[in-house]
Amino acid sequence: MVLGIAITSVQAAETSSSHDSMTGMHADHVMEMGGMMHHGNMSAAEHSRHRAMMKSTKYTVTEKQYHVPAVTLMDQNGQPVELTKRLQSNHPLALNFIFTTCTTICPVMTATFSRVRKALGPDSDRLDMVSISIDPEYDRPAVLKDYAAKFHADPEHWTFLTGDADAIHDVLEEFKALFGSKMSHKPITLLKKPGESAWFRIDGLARAKDLTREIRTRLLN
């Protein structure tokens, strides 16, 4: 059962020139990553929908309760990871869902995580990040390890996870991140303070500076 509390809608104040700059950054990232990945048979309509998501700076923050399923996944080094234990981190935690052949919102979300770590500076060591693949058939550990390296992910503080299809389905279903096919996925980031059961759910493609602010305000202060 998921409980929604205190929904906040956020629209970052910006000029049209700054919005254009941000859109350009998203587009540049997609072009860069496009050389590394394929589209995974994304339809024109699905691709267009993701492009539209990338142009928006709006996001919502909702406080929710989730029951993390007792599944064992694999990290980018092929090591088994009990998800319940991994998400019961002693550090503040940021979680998202990606897949490596995505050329629209996933590389942007992953790049945002990377930029957040840089923006946090020394405080980045206080934050754990977890990225779970929604395409476990293709995204095996070696693929995730290569993908993580492209974004200079620090393996000590940023874990990429995959697993069997049923386990990933259970995770996505519990976190309300199941939207049919992987091509219909939406940008979601989940934040959690250590020792607390509540999660802050961010729906929308938050920019790095906005996500950094949310993490500092909700997790690190």
Domains of the chain: 5-220 (3.40.30.10)
Cα separation, 161 vs 154, whole angstroms: 14
Task: Measure Cα distances from 116 to 132, 181, 187, 210 in Å.
Answer: 18, 28, 16, 9
Cα separation, 30 vs 135, whole angstroms: 19
* Half-sphere exposure at residue 117, Cβ-oriented, CA atoms within 13 angstroms: 20
pLDDT digits (tens, 9 = 90+) for 35-90: 333 444 445 544 455 555 555 569 999 999 999 999 999 999 999 999 999 999 89
pLDDT digits (tens, 9 = 90+) for 3-43: 333 434 444 333 232 333 333 344 334 333 333 334 444 45
Question: The whole model's pTM is what?
Answer: 0.78
If you search the block for the tokens 């754990």, which residue do you land on? Answer: 128
pLDDT of residue 47: 46
